[in-house]
């Protein structure tokens, strides 16, 4: 299948556009080890013509955040009749919206943190008071539909909450506010195979003291470490892998995803699922794939061929 024509769509105007371009460079380099026609396509107003010019058999979206990861691009590609790597419209939209995703997880019986949902239309002071009464002072404020921890604030007291809400509303009119769970940051990638959805090894993410896995620590070389396999009891490891697979299936994801967790001594909490996980040199999904037994060039080749055969 070396004559498959591939368009790697990346960039755009999202807050994560530069990360997308960085991921795309690595993906393109790896794909060229197996395929003769690999074209980088910018997500902009010229994308229709750019795709028509390269006539791809498969589109590989390397995009983070809206509109590339939330179902918008996926619907566009389906209307134009292009096969593409990754989840379809509905699964992409469900996973990108943290509020909707958590409703789906809860319905599926998966372990999630307590939460409040607030909107920009409501008075911030009233919303803050409701959050404090429901969850207490130690919470995490998240825009509903952003990735890479953009707009996320860890709140330790009531004085910080008002500002955290204001900052998050700059990115999204709807916010998910969760109880802050003190635990270890864990992630598990999964991949679809002919034998079903299979989990990668469990990875623990560590950052320097008094820091967390925010945007800078995700994408700056040396600012975080990936411990694989995570040093966890066998039962907890199995629970995390099972939960990652169940979350992937509950959302209706396709091809690949990565589930993020917080883990305490006794419990696991599913935070979110990424349908287009990062593919930069510091990214977690390629690390998990290597632990599973797939080097990066083999991984991207597999995903392209899976899409081509649909």
Catalytic residue list? 16, 148, 219, 258, 260, 272, 274, 278
Q: CA-based angle 278:261:214, to the nearest 5?
A: 55
Calpha distance 221→210 (Å, rounded): 18
Task: For 29-42, give one letter per residue: b (16+ CB within 10 A) or e.
Answer: ebbeebbebbbbbb
Burial of 52 (0-12, 13-18, 19+ CB in 10 A): exposed
Whole-number Å distance between alpha carbons of 40 and 11: 10
* SS3 assignment, position 262: strand
Residue 179 — left, alpha, or beta (φ > 0 → left; ψ -120 to 50 → alpha)?
beta
194/23 Cα distance (integer angstroms)? 27
Compute the half-sphere exposure of residue 272: CA atoms within 13 Å on the CB side of its CA. Answer: 23
Task: Tell me the HSE value of 86 on the side-chain side, using a 13 A CA sphere.
Answer: 33
Question: What is the distance between the alpha carbons of residues 226 and 140, in angstroms, rounded to a whole number?
Answer: 23
């Amino acid at each position: 299948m070396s004559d498959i024509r591939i368009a790697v769509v990346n960039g755009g105007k999202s807050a994560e556009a530069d990360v997308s371009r960085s991921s795309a460079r690595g993906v393109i380099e790896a794909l060229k080890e197996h395929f003769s026609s690999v074209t980088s396509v910018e997500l902009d107003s010229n994308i229709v013509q750019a795709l028509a010019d390269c006539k791809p058999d498969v589109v590989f979206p390397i995009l983070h955040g809206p509109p590339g990861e939330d179902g918008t691009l996926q619907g566009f590609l389906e209307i134009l009749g292009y096969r593409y790597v990754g989840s379809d419209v509905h699964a992409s939209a469900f996973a990108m919206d943290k509020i909707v995703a958590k409703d789906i997880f809860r319905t599926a019986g998966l372990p999630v943190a307590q939460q409040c949902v607030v909107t920009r239309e409501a008075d911030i002071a009233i919303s803050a008071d409701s959050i404090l009464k429901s969850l207490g002072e130690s919470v995490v404020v998240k825009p509903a539909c952003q990735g890479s921890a953009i707009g996320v604030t860890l709140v330790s007291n009531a004085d910080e909450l008002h500002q955290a809400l204001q900052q998050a509303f700059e990115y999204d009119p709807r916010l998910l506010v969760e109880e802050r769970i003190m635990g270890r940051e864990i992630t598990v990638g999964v991949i679809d195979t002919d034998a079903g959805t299979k989990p990668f090894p469990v990875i623990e993410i560590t950052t320097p003291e008094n820091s967390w896995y925010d945007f800078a620590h995700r994408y700056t070389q040396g600012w975080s470490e990936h411990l694989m396999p995570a040093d966890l009891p066998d039962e907890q490891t199995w629970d995390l892998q099972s939960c990652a697979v169940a979350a992937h299936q509950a959302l209706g994801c396709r091809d690949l995803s990565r589930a993020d967790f917080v883990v305490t001594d006794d419990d696991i909490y599913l935070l979110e699922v990424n349908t287009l996980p990062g593919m930069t040199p510091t990214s977690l999904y390629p690390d998990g794939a290597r632990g599973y037994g797939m080097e990066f060039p083999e991984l991207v080749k597999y995903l392209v061929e899976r899409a081509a055969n649909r």
